[in-house]
Amino acid sequence: MSYKITVEPSGNRFEAEPSETLLQAGLRAGLNLGHNCANGSCGECRARLLSGDIAPLAHFDFHFGELEKQQGWFLLCSCRAASDLVVEAYELDSAAEVPEQRVSAKVGRIERLQDDILQLTVRTPRSGGLHFLAGQGVALAFDYLQPKILPIASCPCDSIQLRFHLRRCAGDPFSEFVFDRLRKGGEVRLRGPCGDFTLDEASNRPLVFITWESGFAPVSSLIDHAIQRDIDRSIDLYWLSAIPRGHYLSNYCRAWRDVLDDFRYHSIDLVPAGTEQLDHVIERILRVHTLLADHDYYLALPQVGLDLARVLLNEAGVPDEQIRTSVMSQP
């Protein structure tokens, strides 16, 4: 059986199984619970029990004083629910609050999505996954190569298996190494997370995502996170590509229709016109949303596309607070 957990002061709720820690259950549900080491050492995930019963599940080294114990303080990463609970816990409000982490990981899987696009799955230790917010990125480093920041394509509900999308770029040593020489089990060092292309969960406005080719990666993370959090908002996804078969996970997008009540997926092919038509297409997309100021916009585009979109949105009365951007490289 599962137990119902209420987090104060936010009022967020999730369910927890007796076999998992409260931190694992909360992250699986998409909550941005404050934590760092996840192994009972740092104390960043401490919470206070307001009602209900908990039980120890994992060893921890963090020390609570006697007064703190009497007040009901405990570690989310080391305890499980033994009944329905109400707990007081810290939840992150912004990307700036996520601490920088250094994690040694291994390559779990390398999957070709198209001839020049692959999905890289990196597996972190179970004792210390990467804590990040949906839409953020992380620097990946391999021996003898300059680190490269890539957006995380997976949902924060799984901090152990992280997915990345990478496009082959001629002359780029990093992409050439990953495509040609990297193998399952290879070591990779992670540093991050970074970036503020994150979901405004306090808003109830409809969501519009406009992405360019592999810019789909952070958008995928954001939409999967919205599903985990059961966010009840209209979503329009526009995926632009100027390369053949550039919408490399269209089936994944169509599957979102089965779990989201108000979701529309638009794949826009710019072949053979290429990037020359990018401005025109963005202008046409934004014209569709006649009540522009009533939406939140998430744009993962080349810089030229971001500049135009921001101008058009500002002219339509959309404040910068409703526009979040991620710069994608342009071939």
Q: Is the pLDDT of residue 330 over 60?
A: no
| Mean per-residue pLDDT, 250-268 | 93
Is residue 33 within 8 A of residue 73, CB to CB? The reply is no
Answer whether residue 275 shows pLDDT above 70: no
Whether the bond between 272 and the residue before it is cis, its omega within 30 degrees of 0, is yes
SS3 state of residue 52: coil
255-288 per-residue burial string, b: 16 or more CB within 10 A, e: under 16: ebeeebeebebeebebeeeebeebeebbeebbee
Alpha helices in the chain (DSSP H): 22-28, 66-70, 173-180, 216-228, 250-259, 278-288, 303-315
What is the C-alpha separation between 53 and 82, in angstroms, rounded? 5
Strand spans (E) along the chain: 3-8, 12-16, 46-51, 54-56, 73-75, 79-81, 85-89, 101-114, 117-123, 137-141, 148-151, 161-167, 187-194, 207-212, 235-241, 263-269, 296-301, 323-327
Separation between Cα atoms, residue 181 and residue 178, nearest integer Å:
6
* Least reliable range by pLDDT among 58-67, 220-229, 253-262: 58-67
Tokens of 98: 């996520």
* Lowest-confidence pick of 54-58, 92-96, 117-121, 233-237: 92-96
Pairing of strands 85-89, 46-51: antiparallel
Per-residue confidence band for 129, with pLDDT thresholds at 50, 70 and 90: confident
What 3-state class would DSSP assign to 261?
coil
Walk me through the domains of the chain, giving residue ranges and CATH numbers. 3-91 (3.10.20.30), 96-194 (2.40.30.10), 207-327 (3.40.50.80)
Band (pLDDT 50/70/90 cuts) for residue 322 is very high
Three-state secondary structure call for residue 106 = strand
Contact 41, 60 (CB under 8 A): yes
**Which two tokens mark 287?**
């014209």
The answer on pLDDT for 215 being more than 80 is yes
Could you tell me the CA-to-CA distances from 88 to 9, 43, 48, 182, 205 in Å, in that order? 7, 14, 5, 44, 28
State how far the alpha carbon of 147 is from the alpha carbons of 31, 73, 150, 151, in Å.
Answer: 29, 40, 10, 13
Mean pLDDT over all residues of the chain? 90
Tokens 């939140």 correspond to what residue?
Answer: 296
Q: Is the pLDDT of residue 141 over 90?
A: yes
Confidence bin at 279 (pLDDT 50/70/90): confident
Question: Which pLDDT tens digit goes with each residue over 14-29?
Answer: 999 999 999 989 988 8
Q: What was the pLDDT predicted at 274? A: 57
Query: What percent of the chain has a predicted confidence (pLDDT) above 90?
Result: 57
Mean pLDDT of all residues in 34-44: 81
Q: In the structure, what pLDDT confidence band is assigned to residue 254 with cuts at 50, 70 and 90?
A: very high
Mean pLDDT, residues 242-267? 91
Distance from C-alpha of 84 to C-alpha of 259, rounded to nearest angstrom: 27
C-alpha closest to that of 297 among 326, 274, 254, 259: 326
Distance CA 155, CA 150 (A): 14
Of the spans 123-127, 252-256, 283-287, which averages the highest pLDDT? 252-256
Please write the tens of the pLDDT for every residue from 149-207.
999 999 998 888 999 999 998 889 999 999 999 999 999 999 999 999 999 988 999 99
Residue 225 has pLDDT above 60, yes or no: yes
Q: Is the dihedral of CA 192, 324, 9, 153 positive or negative?
A: negative
The predicted structure's pLDDT at residue 105: 95
- Note the pLDDT of residue 246: 84
95-118 pLDDT, tens digit each: 888 889 999 999 999 999 988 999
pLDDT at 216 (0 to 100): 96
CA distance 234 to 265: 12
This prediction has a pTM of 0.85
pLDDT score, position 128: 74
Task: Note whether 17 and 25 are within 8 A (CB).
Answer: yes
